[in-house]
Amino acid sequence: METPITPTEPPHTFAECTRVAVPMIQVLGRISGRWSLYVIMALMRGPMRFSELRRQVHGVSQKMLTQTLRELEEDGIVHRTVTPIIPPRVDYELTDMGRELQAPLTAISEWTERNGDRVARARERYAAAKGI
Amino acid sequence: METPITPTEPPHTFAECTRVAVPMIQVLGRISGRWSLYVIMALMRGPMRFSELRRQVHGVSQKMLTQTLRELEEDGIVHRTVTPIIPPRVDYELTDMGRELQAPLTAISEWTERNGDRVARARERYAAAKGI
DNA sequence: CAGGATCCTGATTGATACTG
DNA sequence: CAGTATCAATCAGGATCCTG
């Protein structure tokens, strides 16, 4: 019998191909928080201070940036360095693990590049069909 | 000058590596909707009827399953076939584009497999440090 | 069987003000 | 500068009832 797919009770198979989908869900959840991916992408350019990060990631509120960074730090994707001077200085950088995200993110990016047009056309068709 | 990263105004670079991040965000947004990934994973096993899908994806409400399927259909990831009989029969299956998601999802899955433990340990450390 | 329409609630997010 | 704290608004998700 096939393992049912559930978000609450861990192990289940991922097609006929891979396993580990629950942590995967959690990872995706983190990655795709409203701002996480943007922060990660910004940090892939190199280490950055809070204020610089805030300038890079347009539209993020200081509250959400802080929160996002805390979550990424909690997961060991981002490293936070506090220099206790006045005024305070805090630097952020990706950890090794964080940098390793580049491969999977690139894979998604490639899928997007290959299929972006098709998605757009699918949406148009859908909208048109709905209009009829 | 570097292109700033923004969720509302499209083009910006993805590290020194790839481009196209805005559709990527949208894709991730879709993929990581609470249920989307589970539905996709279920459908990677093969075509399925609504009721079967609902059994496979534990805990999903009928409303959310419907909504998720509509979104995936709108993006051209899932194909919907209605057989107008009584009682109605509706089949769902991945499109080619949907099946191609396997590669990127596998990449994330692999990252998770390599780093799941590290994430767990990072969280423990973070919790411990916060406790002090 | 498949899904539309409502109502309702808790979680997310944003704006604002304050601080070491 | 880099936050924390608070309040208000928005929204996604679930429960329930209904129908071709």
Write the pLDDT tens digit of every residue in B42-71. 999 999 999 999 999 999 999 999 999 999
Question: In which band, very low, low, confident or very high, does the pLDDT at B1 lie, cut at 50, 70 and 90?
Answer: very low
Query: Is A108 within 8 Å of B108 when comparing Cβ atoms?
Result: yes
Shared domain for A12 and A61, answered yes or no, is: no
Question: Minimal CA–CA distance to A111: which of B27, B34, B110?
Answer: B27
Instruction: State pTM to two decimals.
Output: 0.83
% of chain A at pLDDT higher than 70: 83
Average pLDDT, chain A: 83
Does B59 contact A at CB distance below 8 Å? yes
- Residues 63-102 of chain B whose Cβ lies under 8 A from any Cβ of chain A: 73-76, 97, 100-102
**What's the mean pLDDT when you consider all of chain B?**
83
Which domain CATH number covers A47? 1.10.10.10
Phi, psi at residue A16, to the nearest 5°?
Answer: -95, 20
Q: Which of A9, A38, A75 sits opposite B122 (nearest CB)?
A: A75
B13 and B50 share one domain: no
Nucleotide closest to residue A50 (CA–C1'):
D2
Judgement on whether residues A110 and A46 belong to the same structural domain of the protein: yes
Average pLDDT over residues A6-21: 39
Residue A88 CB closer than 7 angstroms to strand D? yes
> Are B2 and B61 found together in one domain?
no
Do B84 and B22 belong to one domain?
Answer: no
pLDDT beyond 50 at A19: no
Number of domains in chain B: 2
pLDDT tens for residues B11-20? 333 333 334 4
What pLDDT, on the 0 to 100 scale, is given for residue B82? 97
Closest CA to A40 of A90, A75, A83, A88: A75
Angstrom distance (rounded) from CA B75 to CA B93: 13
Angle in degrees, CA A71, A74, A75, rounded to 5: 90
Asked if B42 and B56 count as a contact pair (C-beta separation under 8 A), the reply is yes
A93-127 pLDDT per residue, tens: 999 999 999 999 889 888 988 998 899 899 999 99
Same domain, B111 and B49: yes
Q: Please, are residues B65 and B57 in contact by the beta-carbon 8 Å criterion?
A: yes
User: Which H helix or E strand runs over A38?
Assistant: helix A36-43
Give nearest nucleotide to B60 (CA–C1'): D14
> What mean pLDDT comes out for the span A50-70?
96
Tokens of A96: 């090794």
Q: Is the pLDDT of residue A23 over 50?
A: yes
Its domain, for residue B9, covers 1-32
> CB A56 to CB B21 under 8 A?
no
How far apart CA B113 and CA A58 sit, in angstroms, is 32
pLDDT band at A21 (very low <50, low <70, confident <90, very high): low
Q: Which residue has the tokens 């580049």?
A: A102
A92-CA/C16-C1' distance, Å: 26
- Claim to verify: residue B22 and residue B43 sit in the same structural domain: no
Residue A128, pLDDT > 70, answer yes
- Per-residue pLDDT at A25: 77
Q: Let me know whether A108 and A54 are in one domain.
A: yes
* Dist. CA A109–CA A115, nearest whole Å: 10
If asked whether residues B48 and B99 sit together in one domain, one would say: yes
HEC assignment per residue over A58-122: CCCCHHHHHHHHHHHHHCCCEEEEEECCCCCEEEEEECHHHHCCHHHHHHHHHHHHHHHHHHHHH
A17 and A69 in a single domain? The answer is no
Q: How confident is the model at residue B2 (pLDDT cuts 50, 70, 90)?
A: very low
User: B28 and B44 share a domain?
Assistant: no
Contact status, residue B66 vs residue B37, Cβ threshold 8 Å: no
In the three-class reduction of DSSP (H, G, I as helix; E, B as strand; rest coil), residue A57 is classed as: strand
Same domain membership, residue A117 and residue A93: yes
CB B92 within 8 A of CB B66: no
Cross-chain Cβ contact B116/A9 below 8 Å:
no
- Contacts with B1 (C-beta within 8 Å, 6 or more apart), sequence order: none
What is the reported pLDDT for A22? 54
Region B26-36: what's the mean pLDDT? 78
pLDDT on residue B60: 95
